[in-house]
Amino acid sequence: MDKNIKLIALDMDGTLLNNQHVVSDRNKEAILAARDQGVEVIISTGRHYQSSFEIARELDIHYLITVNGSEIWTLDGELIARQTLDSEIVMKLMELKEQHGTWTWLASVDEVFSNEAPEDILAYEWLKVGFDTDNDQTKEEIIQTITDWGNVEWSNSSPTNIEINAFGVNKAAAIKKVCERLNLSMEQVMAAGDSLNDIKMIEKAGLGVAMGNAQQIVKDKADYITDTNANDGVAKAIEKWVLRK
């Protein structure tokens, strides 16, 4: 494949970050080298803005796609776009939590709640709800229920969790908005990730890259499989497809 890559979109956990949750020197060097060639590098993560900003600042990343595409930020804190999850849906998801006894987390615009919801759910603007369980039957039952609703997007950021966003929210849709802002096309994007919340951006990008540690379904959708996040897989993909080393 001869790709004219002008934008690199990187997931964070399991992708850009190694198993110590830091960016390796080789990954940093590859990102800087790509930028020196005029390639925009952005973060596209399931994390909240508050827990991804420091990594973006460390790398001088100009755009952050957060909470699986619910928000798009600039490094200087400008909110470009936001799509919230209806509070009534969050209440129904909390009923599912009680029914199945799973661990949950809830991301609002301002904060993240671990395994409990505030008393007045309707008073908050919500971005995402997550379930975590290693019980496959419970996962399947929750997935079937929310799929039947037909009004949310679901994915995961690890094999044991389910992440629920507003309908239409995904990383690919958010990357497209950034591309429009920069007068680029999705064909000029290289997107790299490891989990279900990365599949749509991997499918829609001109070059979709799965990490060596990615879930198998992600690898099946990718154009190219790089090394693992523990072995500088992001750098190796950039070196091959952008720097042409």
Decide yes or no: CATH 1.10.630.10 for domain 87-166. Answer: no
Sheet strand arrangement including 207-210:
79-82, 71-74, 63-66, 40-44, 7-10, 189-193, 207-210, 224-225
Decide: helix, strand or coil at residue 65: strand
Task: Tell me what the mean pLDDT of segment 53-72 comes to.
Answer: 96
Q: Are 232 and 20 a contacting pair, CB within 8 Å?
A: no
Q: Is 62 exposed, middle or buried (0-12, 13-18, 19+ CB in 10 A)?
A: middle
Using 50, 70 and 90 to split pLDDT, how confident is the model at 219?
Answer: very high
Active-site annotation holds for 13: no
Task: Tell me what the mean pLDDT of segment 183-208 comes to.
Answer: 98
Task: Tell me what the mean pLDDT of segment 108-122 comes to.
Answer: 94
Which run of H or E residues covers position 43?
Answer: strand 40-44
Above 80 in pLDDT, residue 11?
A: yes
Decide: helix, strand or coil at residue 68: helix
Task: Tell me what the mean pLDDT of segment 28-43 comes to.
Answer: 97
Q: Hey, what amino acid is at 7?
A: L
- pLDDT, tens digit, for every residue of 136-178? 999 999 999 999 999 999 999 999 999 999 999 999 999 999 9
Task: Tell me what the mean pLDDT of segment 100-106 comes to.
Answer: 96
Above 90 in pLDDT, residue 129?
A: yes
pLDDT score recorded for residue 194: 98
- pLDDT, tens digit, for every residue of 93-102? 999 999 999 9
Q: Is 144 exposed, middle or buried (0-12, 13-18, 19+ CB in 10 A)?
A: exposed
Here the tokens at position 241 are: 């497809």
Above 90 in pLDDT, residue 3?
A: no
pLDDT score recorded for residue 149: 96
Q: Are 178 and 188 a contacting pair, CB within 8 Å?
A: no
Above 90 in pLDDT, residue 109?
A: yes
Average predicted confidence (pLDDT) for the chain: 96
Above 80 in pLDDT, residue 2?
A: no
Sign of torsion over alpha carbons 84, 152, 223, 136: positive
Task: Tell me what the mean pLDDT of segment 52-56 comes to.
Answer: 95
Q: Are 85 and 127 a contacting pair, CB within 8 Å?
A: yes
Q: What is the DSSP letter of 213?
A: T
Domain ranges in the chain with CATH number 3.30.1240.10:
87-166
pLDDT score recorded for residue 92: 97
Domain ranges in the chain with CATH number 3.40.50.1000:
7-82+170-241
Using 50, 70 and 90 to split pLDDT, how confident is the model at 200?
Answer: very high
What CATH class has 7-82+170-241?
Answer: alpha beta
Q: Is 58 exposed, middle or buried (0-12, 13-18, 19+ CB in 10 A)?
A: exposed
Per annotation, catalytic residue among 2, 11, 110, 227: 11
Percentage with pLDDT > 90 across the chain:
98
